[in-house]
């Protein structure tokens, strides 16, 4: 009751101060839902699915603009928070949700608004391409910058590790999927721009997937040695579906792109001018995507078993980090639907559709709970500020005790509490 009253008395300034980077996981999750509506195999291209895609797209765009504005105000009003946040061993990892959330918006802008509706033509597409390059820069800064701080300025241990460690490196994988979406559209206007985009996307997905697989190996060791994460951290067991599912989707798109443009029929490269190169790359990429889907399915089994084990013993507290479960499940469903289209497989089509609907239901449950907690301001808590706030609270309590009872002066804090 006291906690509820405390949160209810929070001002807008308090909300801004506690607006952590993890809120951009909301953008990622909502963007994944819009992608699933666009990719849903039953009623493909129907007006109903397009309307639902647009609804989630514009909702996501409004949320993204709002969150960016609040974040800018946060770091201008409280400039010290950036340094505190970037050195926090957990909160700093969520900076990767910003570029990943932006990519979900760009993908729908290209595939639906530009391609299906023909909006904006070449100028609009090149504006989106420029935004993609900005996202690429942000992704590299998040990946290498945050990992540098993890190595040099933060303290980590195997026991405290969760799959949230994946967030900085997955930014490169998600950005590469954006390249896989925009490259075919660029091909209509410039082969060179399309090839540069696709090649750089291969570069990014190779780095991101390699780092992710290394971390997943360590994470599996952590689970075996120390067991499942405690509290709300249990929801992070779904995060391994993100790099495996999104990397599979990105590689599948890039394979399809190179199949459509090769052979080049110019230049001196025998490889790029060979008739079989495009088809060979496509087959290899499809096989890799299928392998990554299998790995994602394996992590899905582990995640479901882990969550049900925890739920049988206790309740999982709801925090904004819970939004992190929607994007990984969404990209897993999206890869499944993409493989269904590639293989014309009823199994992938049905399983992908069922999983898409399940992900939408989870989104509805999480979104409704978030709105309720946001209304009474209970959900606005930045863990990186918790120690500072508790320290200030302790000092204030000690000052109040001294004011009420001057005899407390000179006593230790423990003595005051015992008095």
114 half-sphere exposure, CB direction, 13 A CA radius? 24
- DSSP, residue by residue, 214-263: HHHHHHHHHHHHH-SPPGGGGGGGGTTHHHHHHHHHHHHHHHHHHHHH--
- Dump pLDDT digits (tens) for 269-282: 888 888 899 999 99
Is residue 382 helix, strand or coil?
Answer: coil
Dist CA 62 CA 327 (whole Å): 18
Q: Identify the residue with better confidence: 105 or 46.
A: 105
- Give the pLDDT of residue 172: 97
Mean pLDDT over residues 162-173, rounded? 93
Mean pLDDT over residues 388-398, rounded? 45
The answer, yes or no, to whether residue 32 has pLDDT greater than 60, is yes
- The pair of structure tokens assigned to 342 is 């590639």
Statement: 12-384 belongs to CATH 1.10.760.10: no
Closest residue by Cα to residue 250 from 194, 331, 355:
331
The answer, yes or no, to whether residue 404 has pLDDT greater than 60, is no
Among residues of the chain, what percentage have pLDDT more than 70? 88
In order of 12, 266, 274, the CA distances from 7 in angstroms are 11, 66, 66
Residues sharing a CB contact under 8 Å with residue 136, sequence separation 6 or more, in sequence order: 175, 179, 200, 204
338 half-sphere exposure, CB direction, 13 A CA radius? 29
- Give the pLDDT of residue 374: 84
Domain ranges for the chain: 12-384
Computed from CA positions of residues 135, 168, 27, 89, in that sequence, does the dihedral angle turn out positive or negative?
A: negative
Dihedral class, residue 235 (left if φ above 0, else alpha if ψ from -120 to 50, else beta) = alpha
- Dump pLDDT digits (tens) for 179-197: 999 999 999 999 999 999 9
Q: List the single range of 20-24, 57-61, 231-235, 268-272 with lowest mean pLDDT.
A: 231-235
Tell me which H or E stretch contains 312.
none
In order of 93, 148, 258, 279, 331, the CA distances from 108 in angstroms are 26, 32, 21, 27, 14
- The pair of structure tokens assigned to 395 is 């000092």
- Give the pLDDT of residue 375: 83
* Number of residues in the chain: 419
The answer, yes or no, to whether residue 403 has pLDDT greater than 70, is no
- Give the pLDDT of residue 395: 45
Cα(first)–Cα(last) distance of the chain, in Å?
26
Q: pLDDT band at residue 388, thresholds of 50, 70 and 90?
A: low
- Give the pLDDT of residue 5: 42
């Amino acid at each position: 009751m006291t906690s509820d009253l405390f949160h209810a008395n929070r001002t807008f300034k308090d909300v801004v101060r506690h607006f952590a980077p993890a809120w951009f996981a909301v953008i990622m999750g909502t963007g994944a839902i819009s992608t699933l509506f666009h990719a849903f195999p039953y009623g493909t291209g129907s007006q109903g699915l397009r309307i639902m895609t647009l609804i989630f797209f514009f909702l996501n765009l409004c949320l993204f603009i709002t969150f960016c504005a609040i974040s800018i105000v946060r770091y201008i009003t409280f400039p010290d928070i950036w340094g505190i946040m970037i050195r926090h061993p957990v909160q700093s990892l969520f900076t990767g949700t910003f570029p990943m959330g932006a990519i979900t918006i760009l993908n729908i802008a290209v595939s639906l608004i530009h391609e299906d509706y023909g909006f904006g033509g070449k100028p609009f597409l090149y504006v989106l391409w420029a935004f993609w390059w900005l996202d690429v820069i942000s992704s590299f800064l998040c990946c290498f910058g945050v990992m540098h701080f993890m190595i040099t300025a933060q303290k980590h241990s195997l026991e405290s590790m969760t799959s949230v460690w994946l967030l900085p490196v997955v930014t490169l994988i998600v950005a590469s999927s954006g390249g896989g979406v925009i490259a075919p559209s660029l091909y209509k206007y410039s082969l060179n721009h399309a090839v540069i985009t696709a090649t750089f996307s291969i570069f990014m997905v190779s780095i991101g997937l390699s780092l992710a697989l290394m971390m997943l190996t360590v994470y599996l060791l952590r689970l075996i040695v120390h067991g499942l994460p405690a509290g709300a951290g249990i929801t992070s067991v779904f995060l391994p579906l993100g790099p495996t599912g999104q990397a599979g989707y990105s590689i599948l798109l890039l394979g399809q792109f190179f199949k459509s443009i090769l052979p080049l029929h110019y230049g001196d490269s025998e490889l790029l001018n060979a008739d079989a190169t495009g088809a060979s790359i496509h087959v290899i990429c499809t096989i890799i995507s299928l392998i990554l889907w299998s790995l994602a399915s394996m992590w899905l089994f582990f995640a479901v078993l882990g969550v049900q084990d925890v739920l049988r013993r206790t309740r999982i507290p709801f925090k904004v980090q819970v939004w992190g479960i929607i994007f990984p499940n969404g990209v897993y469903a999206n890869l499944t639907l993409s493989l269904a289209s590639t293989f014309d497989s009823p199994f992938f089509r049905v399983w992908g559709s069922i999983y898409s609907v399940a992900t939408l239901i989870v989104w509805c449950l999480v979104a409704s709970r978030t709105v309720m907690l946001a209304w009474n301001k209970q959900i606005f808590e930045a863990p990186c500020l918790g120690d500072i706030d508790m320290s200030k609270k302790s000092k204030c309590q000690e000052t109040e005790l001294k004011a009420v009872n001057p005899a407390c002066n000179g006593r230790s804090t423990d003595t005051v509490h015992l008095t």
